[in-house]
Chains A and B, each alone.
Chain A
Protein backbone atom coordinates (compact mmCIF):
# COMPACT_ATOMS: atom_id res chain seq x y z
CA UNK A 1 0.00 0.00 0.00
CA UNK A 2 2.81 2.33 0.94
CA UNK A 3 4.60 1.33 -2.24
CA UNK A 4 1.51 2.18 -4.24
CA UNK A 5 1.27 5.62 -2.63
CA UNK A 6 4.96 6.29 -3.19
CA UNK A 7 4.59 5.30 -6.83
CA UNK A 8 1.57 7.56 -7.29
CA UNK A 9 3.38 10.44 -5.63
CA UNK A 10 6.41 9.93 -7.83
CA UNK A 11 4.28 9.77 -10.95
CA UNK A 12 2.29 12.84 -9.95
CA UNK A 13 5.54 14.73 -9.39
CA UNK A 14 6.90 13.68 -12.79
CA UNK A 15 3.66 14.75 -14.47
CA UNK A 16 3.65 18.05 -12.60
CA UNK A 17 7.16 18.71 -13.89
CA UNK A 18 5.96 18.17 -17.46
CA UNK A 19 2.85 20.31 -16.99
CA UNK A 20 4.61 23.56 -18.00
CA UNK A 21 5.45 22.02 -21.39
CA UNK A 22 1.80 21.17 -22.05
CA UNK A 23 0.60 24.57 -20.83
CA UNK A 24 3.25 26.41 -22.82
CA UNK A 25 2.40 24.49 -25.99
CA UNK A 26 -1.30 25.19 -25.44
CA UNK A 27 -0.87 28.93 -24.88
CA UNK A 28 1.70 29.41 -27.64
CA UNK A 29 -0.38 27.25 -29.96
CA UNK A 30 -3.53 29.24 -29.19
CA UNK A 31 -1.77 32.54 -29.86
CA UNK A 32 -0.04 31.31 -32.99
CA UNK A 33 -3.05 29.63 -34.54
CA UNK A 34 -5.44 32.50 -33.72
CA UNK A 35 -3.09 35.01 -35.29
CA UNK A 36 -2.54 32.85 -38.34
CA UNK A 37 -6.29 32.24 -38.62
CA UNK A 38 -6.83 36.00 -38.70
CA UNK A 39 -4.31 36.27 -41.52
CA UNK A 40 -6.11 33.48 -43.39
CA UNK A 41 -9.48 35.22 -43.03
CA UNK A 42 -8.07 38.50 -44.30
CA UNK A 43 -6.26 36.68 -47.11
CA UNK A 44 -9.51 35.09 -48.21
CA UNK A 45 -10.83 38.57 -48.94
CA UNK A 46 -8.08 39.20 -51.47
CA UNK A 47 -7.89 37.77 -54.97
CA UNK A 48 -4.36 36.47 -54.69
CA UNK A 49 -4.61 35.21 -51.12
CA UNK A 50 -7.91 33.42 -51.56
CA UNK A 51 -6.69 30.26 -53.33
CA UNK A 52 -3.63 30.03 -51.07
CA UNK A 53 -5.71 30.32 -47.91
CA UNK A 54 -8.22 27.80 -49.23
CA UNK A 55 -5.49 25.30 -50.10
CA UNK A 56 -3.98 25.80 -46.65
CA UNK A 57 -7.32 25.11 -44.96
CA UNK A 58 -8.01 22.13 -47.23
CA UNK A 59 -4.66 20.47 -46.53
CA UNK A 60 -4.48 21.07 -42.79
CA UNK A 61 -8.10 20.12 -42.14
CA UNK A 62 -7.96 17.12 -44.42
CA UNK A 63 -4.93 15.34 -42.92
CA UNK A 64 -4.22 14.06 -39.41
CA UNK A 65 -2.28 16.34 -37.07
CA UNK A 66 -0.05 13.38 -36.21
CA UNK A 67 1.08 13.22 -39.82
CA UNK A 68 1.62 16.98 -39.86
CA UNK A 69 3.80 16.65 -36.74
CA UNK A 70 5.93 13.99 -38.41
CA UNK A 71 6.07 16.06 -41.57
CA UNK A 72 7.37 19.13 -39.75
CA UNK A 73 9.73 17.16 -37.49
CA UNK A 74 11.20 14.51 -39.79
CA UNK A 75 10.02 15.53 -43.25
CA UNK A 76 11.17 19.14 -43.30
CA UNK A 77 14.40 18.25 -41.47
CA UNK A 78 15.33 16.11 -44.46
CA UNK A 79 15.21 19.11 -46.79
CA UNK A 80 18.49 20.87 -47.45
CA UNK A 81 17.31 24.48 -46.99
CA UNK A 82 15.89 23.60 -43.57
CA UNK A 83 18.64 21.24 -42.41
CA UNK A 84 21.48 23.50 -43.51
CA UNK A 85 19.67 26.84 -43.46
CA UNK A 86 19.43 29.53 -40.81
CA UNK A 87 16.20 28.10 -39.38
CA UNK A 88 17.81 24.84 -38.25
CA UNK A 89 18.40 25.90 -34.62
CA UNK A 90 14.61 26.25 -34.32
CA UNK A 91 13.72 23.12 -36.30
CA UNK A 92 16.25 21.13 -34.30
CA UNK A 93 14.04 21.53 -31.23
CA UNK A 94 11.13 19.08 -30.97
CA UNK A 95 9.05 21.62 -29.02
CA UNK A 96 9.31 24.18 -31.83
CA UNK A 97 8.25 21.59 -34.42
CA UNK A 98 5.30 20.56 -32.26
CA UNK A 99 4.27 24.21 -31.87
CA UNK A 100 4.58 24.86 -35.59
CA UNK A 101 2.47 21.84 -36.53
CA UNK A 102 -0.15 22.74 -33.92
CA UNK A 103 -0.27 26.34 -35.12
CA UNK A 104 -0.65 25.40 -38.78
CA UNK A 105 -3.29 22.76 -38.10
CA UNK A 106 -5.43 24.72 -35.64
CA UNK A 107 -5.21 27.90 -37.71
CA UNK A 108 -7.13 26.11 -40.47
CA UNK A 109 -9.95 25.12 -38.11
CA UNK A 110 -10.11 28.52 -36.41
CA UNK A 111 -10.13 30.31 -39.76
CA UNK A 112 -13.26 28.36 -40.68
CA UNK A 113 -14.88 29.37 -37.40
CA UNK A 114 -14.05 33.03 -37.96
CA UNK A 115 -15.23 32.94 -41.56
CA UNK A 116 -18.57 31.45 -40.48
CA UNK A 117 -18.96 34.16 -37.84
CA UNK A 118 -18.11 36.87 -40.36
CA UNK A 119 -20.70 35.51 -42.76
CA UNK A 120 -23.31 35.52 -39.99
CA UNK A 121 -23.10 39.28 -39.40
CA UNK A 122 -26.16 40.80 -41.05
CA UNK A 123 -25.29 42.73 -44.20
CA UNK A 124 -27.64 45.52 -43.20
CA UNK A 125 -25.53 46.42 -40.20
CA UNK A 126 -22.46 47.00 -42.31
CA UNK A 127 -24.49 48.99 -44.82
CA UNK A 128 -25.93 51.04 -41.95
CA UNK A 129 -22.44 51.68 -40.65
CA UNK A 130 -21.39 52.80 -44.09
CA UNK A 131 -24.41 55.06 -44.29
CA UNK A 132 -23.44 56.60 -40.95
CA UNK A 133 -20.13 57.50 -42.54
CA UNK A 134 -18.01 55.19 -40.37
CA UNK A 135 -14.47 54.67 -41.61
CA UNK A 136 -13.21 51.16 -42.42
CA UNK A 137 -11.32 50.91 -39.13
CA UNK A 138 -14.23 52.17 -37.03
CA UNK A 139 -16.51 49.72 -38.80
CA UNK A 140 -14.24 46.82 -37.90
CA UNK A 141 -13.78 48.02 -34.34
CA UNK A 142 -17.36 49.00 -33.50
CA UNK A 143 -19.50 46.70 -35.63
CA UNK A 144 -17.67 43.71 -37.04
CA UNK A 145 -15.20 42.71 -34.31
CA UNK A 146 -17.62 42.73 -31.35
CA UNK A 147 -20.22 40.77 -33.29
CA UNK A 148 -17.66 38.28 -34.54
CA UNK A 149 -16.39 37.77 -31.04
CA UNK A 150 -19.85 36.98 -29.75
CA UNK A 151 -20.82 34.81 -32.70
CA UNK A 152 -17.54 32.91 -32.88
CA UNK A 153 -16.89 32.42 -29.18
CA UNK A 154 -18.62 29.04 -28.60
CA UNK A 155 -17.05 27.39 -31.65
CA UNK A 156 -13.72 29.14 -31.02
CA UNK A 157 -13.77 27.77 -27.49
CA UNK A 158 -14.31 24.28 -28.84
CA UNK A 159 -11.26 24.68 -31.05
CA UNK A 160 -9.16 25.77 -28.08
CA UNK A 161 -10.28 22.69 -26.13
CA UNK A 162 -9.27 20.57 -29.14
CA UNK A 163 -5.95 22.38 -29.21
CA UNK A 164 -5.19 21.56 -25.58
CA UNK A 165 -5.96 17.91 -26.27
CA UNK A 166 -3.89 17.98 -29.45
CA UNK A 167 -0.77 19.11 -27.61
CA UNK A 168 -0.50 15.49 -26.44
CA UNK A 169 0.64 14.55 -29.96
CA UNK A 170 3.89 16.39 -29.30
CA UNK A 171 4.90 13.32 -27.29
CA UNK A 172 5.18 11.38 -30.57
CA UNK A 173 8.06 13.57 -31.68
CA UNK A 174 10.06 13.12 -28.47
CA UNK A 175 8.63 16.11 -26.56
CA UNK A 176 8.33 15.14 -22.91
CA UNK A 177 4.95 16.69 -22.11
CA UNK A 178 2.30 15.24 -19.79
CA UNK A 179 1.48 12.40 -22.21
CA UNK A 180 5.18 11.80 -22.89
CA UNK A 181 5.92 11.45 -19.19
CA UNK A 182 2.97 9.10 -18.75
CA UNK A 183 4.31 6.86 -21.52
CA UNK A 184 7.80 6.83 -20.04
CA UNK A 185 6.56 5.97 -16.58
CA UNK A 186 4.48 3.12 -18.00
CA UNK A 187 7.30 1.78 -20.15
CA UNK A 188 9.54 1.62 -17.09
CA UNK A 189 7.03 0.50 -14.47
CA UNK A 190 4.45 -1.53 -16.42
CA UNK A 191 1.66 0.12 -14.43
CA UNK A 192 -0.90 1.45 -16.81
CA UNK A 193 -4.20 2.47 -15.29
CA UNK A 194 -3.08 4.69 -12.44
CA UNK A 195 -0.59 6.59 -14.63
CA UNK A 196 -3.15 7.25 -17.34
CA UNK A 197 -5.75 8.33 -14.82
CA UNK A 198 -3.33 10.90 -13.43
CA UNK A 199 -2.49 12.20 -16.91
CA UNK A 200 -6.14 12.22 -17.93
CA UNK A 201 -7.01 14.19 -14.80
CA UNK A 202 -4.50 16.88 -15.81
CA UNK A 203 -6.07 17.28 -19.27
CA UNK A 204 -9.58 17.19 -17.83
CA UNK A 205 -8.57 19.92 -15.42
CA UNK A 206 -7.13 22.06 -18.21
CA UNK A 207 -10.06 21.60 -20.60
CA UNK A 208 -12.67 22.02 -17.85
CA UNK A 209 -10.91 25.15 -16.63
CA UNK A 210 -10.89 26.63 -20.11
CA UNK A 211 -14.53 25.70 -20.69
CA UNK A 212 -15.58 27.38 -17.43
CA UNK A 213 -13.60 30.49 -18.33
CA UNK A 214 -15.16 30.67 -21.78
CA UNK A 215 -18.65 30.20 -20.37
CA UNK A 216 -18.16 33.18 -18.06
CA UNK A 217 -16.84 35.26 -20.92
CA UNK A 218 -19.79 34.25 -23.04
CA UNK A 219 -22.23 35.18 -20.30
CA UNK A 220 -20.55 38.54 -19.97
CA UNK A 221 -20.80 39.22 -23.69
CA UNK A 222 -24.47 38.28 -23.66
CA UNK A 223 -25.17 40.81 -20.91
CA UNK A 224 -24.79 43.62 -23.38
CA UNK A 225 -27.71 44.78 -25.49
CA UNK A 226 -28.73 41.92 -27.73
CA UNK A 227 -30.83 41.86 -30.88
Chain B
Protein backbone atom coordinates (compact mmCIF):
# COMPACT_ATOMS: atom_id res chain seq x y z
CA UNK B 1 0.00 0.00 0.00
CA UNK B 2 2.13 2.79 -1.25
CA UNK B 3 5.45 1.86 0.31
CA UNK B 4 7.22 2.82 -2.88
CA UNK B 5 5.71 6.28 -3.10
CA UNK B 6 7.83 9.34 -2.34
CA UNK B 7 7.42 11.11 0.99
CA UNK B 8 5.56 14.03 -0.52
CA UNK B 9 2.82 11.69 -1.79
CA UNK B 10 2.61 9.73 1.46
CA UNK B 11 2.24 12.90 3.52
CA UNK B 12 0.01 14.58 0.95
CA UNK B 13 -3.74 14.81 0.61
CA UNK B 14 -4.26 12.48 -2.34
CA UNK B 15 -5.80 9.00 -2.23
CA UNK B 16 -2.51 7.49 -1.07
CA UNK B 17 -1.60 10.35 1.23
CA UNK B 18 -1.95 10.31 4.99
CA UNK B 19 -1.98 14.12 5.28
CA UNK B 20 -5.69 14.39 5.92
CA UNK B 21 -5.63 11.51 8.42
CA UNK B 22 -2.70 13.08 10.31
CA UNK B 23 -4.38 16.49 10.48
CA UNK B 24 -7.62 14.85 11.64
CA UNK B 25 -5.56 12.92 14.21
CA UNK B 26 -4.05 16.15 15.48
CA UNK B 27 -7.57 17.56 15.80
CA UNK B 28 -8.64 14.53 17.81
CA UNK B 29 -5.55 14.88 20.01
CA UNK B 30 -6.59 18.44 20.73
CA UNK B 31 -10.14 17.31 21.54
CA UNK B 32 -8.94 14.60 23.92
CA UNK B 33 -6.65 17.08 25.68
CA UNK B 34 -9.45 19.67 25.94
CA UNK B 35 -11.92 17.12 27.31
CA UNK B 36 -9.30 15.86 29.78
CA UNK B 37 -8.50 19.43 30.85
CA UNK B 38 -12.19 20.19 31.44
CA UNK B 39 -12.72 16.97 33.39
CA UNK B 40 -9.56 17.73 35.35
CA UNK B 41 -10.66 21.28 36.18
CA UNK B 42 -14.08 20.24 37.47
CA UNK B 43 -12.79 17.26 39.42
CA UNK B 44 -9.71 19.17 40.57
CA UNK B 45 -11.84 22.00 41.97
CA UNK B 46 -13.97 19.41 43.76
CA UNK B 47 -10.85 17.81 45.21
CA UNK B 48 -9.57 21.18 46.42
CA UNK B 49 -12.92 21.87 48.05
CA UNK B 50 -12.90 18.39 49.59
CA UNK B 51 -9.42 18.90 50.99
CA UNK B 52 -10.54 22.14 52.63
CA UNK B 53 -13.65 20.41 53.93
CA UNK B 54 -14.51 20.10 57.59
CA UNK B 55 -15.18 16.38 57.21
CA UNK B 56 -11.83 14.82 57.90
CA UNK B 57 -12.71 11.62 56.06
CA UNK B 58 -13.52 13.49 52.87
CA UNK B 59 -10.39 15.61 53.12
CA UNK B 60 -8.26 12.53 53.62
CA UNK B 61 -9.91 10.78 50.69
CA UNK B 62 -9.07 13.72 48.42
CA UNK B 63 -5.46 13.68 49.64
CA UNK B 64 -5.13 9.95 49.01
CA UNK B 65 -6.64 10.38 45.54
CA UNK B 66 -3.99 12.98 44.71
CA UNK B 67 -1.14 10.87 46.07
CA UNK B 68 -2.20 7.77 44.15
CA UNK B 69 -2.96 9.46 40.82
CA UNK B 70 0.30 11.44 40.94
CA UNK B 71 2.32 8.38 41.92
CA UNK B 72 1.02 5.90 39.37
CA UNK B 73 2.00 5.95 35.67
CA UNK B 74 -0.55 7.64 33.42
CA UNK B 75 -0.29 4.67 31.08
CA UNK B 76 -1.54 2.38 33.85
CA UNK B 77 -4.59 4.62 34.40
CA UNK B 78 -5.37 4.62 30.68
CA UNK B 79 -5.01 0.84 30.54
CA UNK B 80 -7.12 0.33 33.64
CA UNK B 81 -10.00 2.33 32.19
CA UNK B 82 -9.61 0.75 28.77
CA UNK B 83 -9.68 -2.82 30.05
CA UNK B 84 -11.89 -2.20 33.05
CA UNK B 85 -14.60 0.04 31.61
CA UNK B 86 -16.57 -2.62 29.69
CA UNK B 87 -16.84 -4.74 32.83
CA UNK B 88 -17.80 -1.73 34.94
CA UNK B 89 -20.38 -0.65 32.37
CA UNK B 90 -21.84 -4.17 32.21
CA UNK B 91 -22.08 -4.18 36.00
CA UNK B 92 -23.88 -0.82 36.05
CA UNK B 93 -26.17 -1.96 33.22
CA UNK B 94 -26.95 -5.16 35.12
CA UNK B 95 -28.07 -3.05 38.10
CA UNK B 96 -30.75 -1.60 35.84
CA UNK B 97 -31.54 -4.96 34.30
CA UNK B 98 -30.09 -4.04 30.91
CA UNK B 99 -27.88 -6.14 28.64
CA UNK B 100 -24.19 -5.29 28.53
CA UNK B 101 -23.70 -2.26 26.29
CA UNK B 102 -20.22 -3.37 25.27
CA UNK B 103 -17.25 -1.02 25.35
CA UNK B 104 -17.75 2.68 25.92
CA UNK B 105 -16.29 4.92 23.18
CA UNK B 106 -12.51 5.10 23.25
CA UNK B 107 -12.68 8.90 23.27
CA UNK B 108 -14.65 8.85 26.51
CA UNK B 109 -12.47 6.35 28.41
CA UNK B 110 -9.32 7.97 27.06
CA UNK B 111 -10.11 11.55 27.99
CA UNK B 112 -11.55 10.42 31.32
CA UNK B 113 -8.29 8.62 32.14
CA UNK B 114 -6.15 11.64 31.29
CA UNK B 115 -8.68 13.87 33.06
CA UNK B 116 -8.51 11.82 36.27
CA UNK B 117 -4.74 12.31 36.37
CA UNK B 118 -5.02 15.96 35.36
CA UNK B 119 -7.45 16.53 38.24
CA UNK B 120 -4.86 15.40 40.79
CA UNK B 121 -2.36 17.97 39.49
CA UNK B 122 -4.92 20.73 39.02
CA UNK B 123 -6.15 20.28 42.60
CA UNK B 124 -2.60 21.01 43.79
CA UNK B 125 -2.49 24.16 41.68
CA UNK B 126 -5.86 25.40 42.94
CA UNK B 127 -4.83 24.72 46.53
CA UNK B 128 -1.65 26.70 46.02
CA UNK B 129 -3.66 29.52 44.50
CA UNK B 130 -6.10 29.67 47.39
CA UNK B 131 -3.32 29.76 49.97
CA UNK B 132 -1.97 32.79 48.14
CA UNK B 133 -4.93 34.88 49.19
CA UNK B 134 -4.26 36.10 52.74
CA UNK B 135 -7.20 35.42 55.03
CA UNK B 136 -7.01 39.01 56.21
CA UNK B 137 -8.13 40.20 52.79
CA UNK B 138 -11.17 37.97 52.85
CA UNK B 139 -12.02 39.17 56.35
CA UNK B 140 -11.61 42.74 55.21
CA UNK B 141 -13.88 42.11 52.23
CA UNK B 142 -16.47 40.60 54.54
CA UNK B 143 -16.18 43.58 56.87
CA UNK B 144 -16.72 45.83 53.85
CA UNK B 145 -20.00 43.99 53.29
CA UNK B 146 -19.07 42.09 50.15
CA UNK B 147 -21.19 39.03 49.41
CA UNK B 148 -19.57 35.68 48.56
CA UNK B 149 -19.97 36.20 44.79
CA UNK B 150 -18.50 39.68 44.86
CA UNK B 151 -15.74 38.48 47.16
CA UNK B 152 -14.86 35.71 44.74
CA UNK B 153 -15.02 37.99 41.70
CA UNK B 154 -13.21 40.99 43.11
CA UNK B 155 -10.78 39.58 45.65
CA UNK B 156 -10.16 35.87 45.17
CA UNK B 157 -10.44 35.29 41.42
CA UNK B 158 -7.98 37.96 40.19
CA UNK B 159 -5.26 36.91 42.59
CA UNK B 160 -5.83 33.17 42.20
CA UNK B 161 -6.00 33.39 38.43
CA UNK B 162 -2.76 35.29 38.34
CA UNK B 163 -1.08 32.55 40.37
CA UNK B 164 -2.82 29.64 38.74
CA UNK B 165 -2.47 30.41 35.06
CA UNK B 166 1.22 29.54 34.58
CA UNK B 167 1.03 26.12 36.30
CA UNK B 168 -2.26 25.39 34.52
CA UNK B 169 -0.48 26.08 31.26
CA UNK B 170 2.07 23.48 32.30
CA UNK B 171 -0.64 20.93 33.06
CA UNK B 172 -2.24 21.63 29.70
CA UNK B 173 1.03 20.80 28.00
CA UNK B 174 1.17 17.53 29.91
CA UNK B 175 -2.44 16.73 28.94
CA UNK B 176 -1.59 17.35 25.33
CA UNK B 177 1.35 14.98 25.47
CA UNK B 178 -0.39 12.41 27.68
CA UNK B 179 -3.21 12.20 25.16
CA UNK B 180 -0.79 10.15 23.03
CA UNK B 181 -1.25 7.36 25.58
CA UNK B 182 -4.88 7.07 24.53
CA UNK B 183 -3.58 5.69 21.22
CA UNK B 184 -3.27 2.25 22.85
CA UNK B 185 -7.07 2.10 23.06
CA UNK B 186 -7.24 2.31 19.27
CA UNK B 187 -8.53 5.89 19.10
CA UNK B 188 -7.22 7.39 15.86
CA UNK B 189 -5.59 10.45 17.37
CA UNK B 190 -2.25 11.72 16.13
CA UNK B 191 -0.03 9.07 17.74
CA UNK B 192 -2.20 6.18 16.63
CA UNK B 193 -2.63 7.54 13.11
CA UNK B 194 1.10 7.96 12.66
CA UNK B 195 1.69 4.44 14.00
CA UNK B 196 -0.87 2.89 11.65
CA UNK B 197 0.56 4.85 8.73
CA UNK B 198 4.10 3.81 9.72
CA UNK B 199 3.02 0.18 9.92
CA UNK B 200 1.09 -0.05 6.70
CA UNK B 201 3.58 1.90 4.57
CA UNK B 202 6.60 0.61 6.53
CA UNK B 203 8.03 4.13 6.63
CA UNK B 204 8.19 4.70 10.40
CA UNK B 205 10.84 7.42 10.38
CA UNK B 206 8.88 9.60 7.95
CA UNK B 207 5.58 9.36 9.81
CA UNK B 208 7.04 9.77 13.28
CA UNK B 209 8.86 12.91 12.15
CA UNK B 210 5.57 14.18 10.72
CA UNK B 211 3.79 13.44 14.01
CA UNK B 212 6.57 15.16 15.99
CA UNK B 213 6.19 18.29 13.89
CA UNK B 214 2.42 18.32 14.44
CA UNK B 215 2.83 17.83 18.19
CA UNK B 216 5.37 20.68 18.25
CA UNK B 217 2.86 22.89 16.46
CA UNK B 218 0.20 22.03 19.05
CA UNK B 219 2.45 22.50 22.08
CA UNK B 220 4.14 25.70 20.94
CA UNK B 221 0.90 27.29 19.73
CA UNK B 222 -0.76 26.60 23.04
CA UNK B 223 2.20 27.83 25.06
CA UNK B 224 2.10 31.08 23.05
CA UNK B 225 -1.60 31.32 23.83
CA UNK B 226 -1.01 30.82 27.54
CA UNK B 227 1.74 33.46 27.57
CA UNK B 228 -0.69 35.90 26.00
CA UNK B 229 -3.34 35.04 28.60
CA UNK B 230 -0.81 35.53 31.37
CA UNK B 231 0.06 39.00 30.10
CA UNK B 232 -3.63 39.85 29.90
CA UNK B 233 -4.16 38.42 33.37
CA UNK B 234 -1.37 40.53 34.79
CA UNK B 235 -2.84 43.66 33.35
CA UNK B 236 -6.25 42.70 34.70
CA UNK B 237 -4.94 41.89 38.17
CA UNK B 238 -3.08 45.19 38.27
CA UNK B 239 0.20 45.63 40.08
CA UNK B 240 0.53 42.72 42.45
A194 to B79, CA, bound (A): 13
- Which residues in A have their C-beta under 8 angstroms from that of B208? 67, 70-71, 74-75
Residues of B within 8 A of A77 (CB): 204
- Pick the residue among A66, A79, A179, A200 that contacts B183 (CB under 8 A): A66
Binding site for A on B (CB under 8 A): 67-68, 70-76, 79-80, 83-84, 87, 177-181, 183-184, 191, 194-195, 198, 202-205, 208-209, 211-212, 215-216, 219-220
The answer to whether A63 and B212 have CB atoms under 8 Å apart is yes
Find chain A residues with CB under 8 A from B179 CB: 64
> By the criterion CB–CB under 8 Å, are A179 and B191 in contact?
no
A198 to chain B, nearest CB (A): 11
Instruction: Check if A172 is an interface residue, CB within 8 A of chain B.
Output: yes
Q: Would you list 21 pairs from A and B whose C-beta atoms are within 8 A, ordered by A residue?
A: A62-B219, A63-B212, A64-B215, A67-B194, A70-B191, A70-B195, A70-B204, A71-B204, A74-B204, A75-B198, A76-B205, A78-B204, A165-B74, A169-B73, A179-B76, A183-B79, A192-B87, A196-B83, A199-B76, A203-B72, A208-B71
Task: Tell me what chain A mostly uses at the interface: helix, strand, loop, or mixed.
Answer: helix
* A171 on interface, CB distance cutoff 8 Å: yes
CB distance from B121 to the nearest CB of A (A): 11
CA distance A179 to B74 in the complex (A): 11
Q: Give the size range of A's interface with the partner.
A: 35 or more
B84 touches A196 (CB 8 A): yes
Considering residues B75, B181, B216, which has the most beta carbons from chain A within 10 angstroms of its beta carbon? B75
Are A172 and B74 in touch, CB under 8 angstroms? no
Question: Which of A67, A165, A182, A203 has the most chain B CB atoms inside 10 A of its CB?
Answer: A67
Q: Is the CB of B76 within 8 A of A78?
A: no
